[in-house]
């Protein structure tokens, strides 16, 4: 009896750009934790890719750039069609609004198994209600074999607003590496430029792309209000925002105009996120919209209490009074008050951070996330475009 020579099925992941970001990091983690004997992977980028692709370079993942121009670029549809015809994938997996048109191109290219994931919304459509985008989603909905949502908020929206059949929607929580991201042992490392850290510094931190939807100026404004107050505990505060993007210059300017540049460090994009998280005492995410934030998960795995805006999947991750505090978006006063509580009551931060890590280990392991996606792909492969039973992610476990 000879061994089977059948190749593992090929999944093509269509994304906007392979660069530093939560969605992209989640894709890399997914590929690393999927069984290679069952599924191969390729990534097609509407734009291009950066050095971030080195994280999967050794896994034989082909990466193709369509080099889509800004605005209307009808030529990229032709390039996408040709790429899919050359790759001949078993499964196409598009993500977010920017990729959903790829469902039509994939159908025309003969790709039978089609999955679409929703990971969050952008500034131009914070609540997923803009008419032209709703019409596009509804028009393409019949082509999609299964939807994946990373949060209950997005799952309900797909069913209630987009009109997806409940049996064709799975919620699969993002996973995090709780070995790489762990609480610090001992005193915090001395990070940042000389004079930034002190023996008793209280470091308020955040990580993310510095774009409008992440709303980092609100965090800077809250920080400036706190250090301007006479309370002695506030003089220990330092601000660390890791990431790059168009609002970084605005935040730096706000700090400079207030004479507070020496008490903040905005280093731009970094590759040592896990170490920098261990230098923080509190994690704050001021977003205007979120799917299921990977940076919140990483902060919680690092044993940090979290202050986040009460938007999207944040409300499913942060439990007020237990693992953190939720505040309304664009509310620097309420954000400042929440930060002040953690600064003045350090034992509260330690207690919430410990609970946060326990929550991550119990419900957000990378193997559990990978098994959820595997169940979707397998069900579509068994049943074609019309699965008789909805694929379900298995119950999360405590494996890491």
Which domains does the chain show, CATH number per domain?
9-175+365-383 (3.40.50.2000), 202-363 (3.40.50.2000)
Q: What is the reported pTM?
A: 0.88
Number of other residues whose CB lies within 10 A of the CB of residue 380:
21
* Percent of the chain whose predicted confidence (pLDDT) is above 70: 92
pLDDT at 339: 98
Q: pLDDT of 381-397, one tens digit each?
A: 998 654 444 444 444 34
Report the mean per-residue pLDDT for the chain: 91
Can you give the pLDDT at residue 58? 63
pLDDT digits (tens, 9 = 90+) for 38-55: 999 999 999 988 766 566
Give the per-residue pLDDT at 59.
72
Q: pLDDT at position 123, please? A: 81
Name the stretches of the chain with pLDDT < 50: 1-3, 386-400
Cα 361 to the center of its chain, rounded Å = 18
Q: What is the pLDDT of residue 53?
A: 57
How much is the pLDDT for 5?
61
Q: What is the pLDDT of residue 55?
A: 63
Tell me the C-alpha to C-alpha distance, in Å, between residue 40 and each of 22, 88, 233, 379. 22, 12, 53, 17
């Amino acid at each position: 009896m000879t061994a089977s020579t059948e190749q593992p099925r090929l999944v093509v992941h269509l994304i906007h750009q392979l660069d530093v970001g939560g969605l992209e990091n989640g894709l890399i983690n997914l590929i690393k934790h999927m069984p290679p004997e069952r599924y191969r992977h390729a990534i097609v980028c509407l734009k291009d890719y950066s050095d971030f692709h080195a994280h999967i370079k050794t896994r034989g993942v082909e990466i193709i750039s369509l080099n889509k121009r800004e605005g209307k670029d009808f030529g990229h549809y032709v390039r996408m069609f040709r790429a899919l015809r050359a790759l001949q994938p078993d499964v196409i997996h598009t993500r977010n609004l920017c990729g959903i048109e790829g469902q039509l191109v994939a159908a025309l290219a003969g790709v039978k198994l089609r999955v679409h994931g929703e990971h969050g919304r952008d500034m131009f459509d914070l609540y997923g209600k803009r008419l032209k985008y709703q019409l596009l989603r509804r028009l393409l909905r019949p082509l999609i074999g299964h939807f994946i949502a990373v949060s209950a908020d997005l799952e309900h929206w797909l069913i209630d607003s987009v009109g997806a059949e409940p049996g064709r929607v799975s919620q699969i929580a993002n996973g995090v590496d709780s070995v790489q991201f762990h609480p610090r042992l001992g005193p915090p490392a001395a990070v940042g430029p000389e004079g930034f850290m002190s023996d008793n510094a209280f470091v308020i931190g955040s990580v993310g792309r510095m774009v409008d939807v992440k709303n980092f100026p609100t965090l800077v404004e809250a920080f400036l209000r706190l250090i301007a107050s006479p309370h002695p505990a506030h003089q220990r505060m330092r601000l660390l925002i890791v990431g790059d993007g168009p609002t970084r210059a605005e935040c730096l300017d706000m700090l400079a105009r207030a004479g507070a540049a020496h008490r903040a460090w905005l280093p731009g994009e970094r590759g040592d996120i896990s170490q920098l998280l261990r230098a923080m005492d509190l994690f704050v995410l001021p977003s205007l919209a979120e799917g299921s934030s990977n940076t919140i998960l990483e902060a919680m795995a690092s044993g940090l209490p979290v202050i986040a805006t009460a938007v999207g999947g944040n409300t499913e991750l942060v439990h007020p009074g237990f693992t953190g505090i939720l505040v309304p978006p664009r509310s620097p006063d309420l954000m400042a008050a929440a930060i002040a509580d953690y600064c003045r009551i350090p034992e509260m931060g330690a207690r919430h951070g410990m609970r946060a890590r326990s929550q991550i280990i119990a419900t957000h392991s990378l193997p559990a996330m990978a098994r959820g996606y595997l169940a979707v792909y397998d069900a579509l492969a068994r049943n074609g475009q019309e699965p008789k039973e909805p694929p379900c992610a298995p119950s999360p476990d405590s494996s890491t």
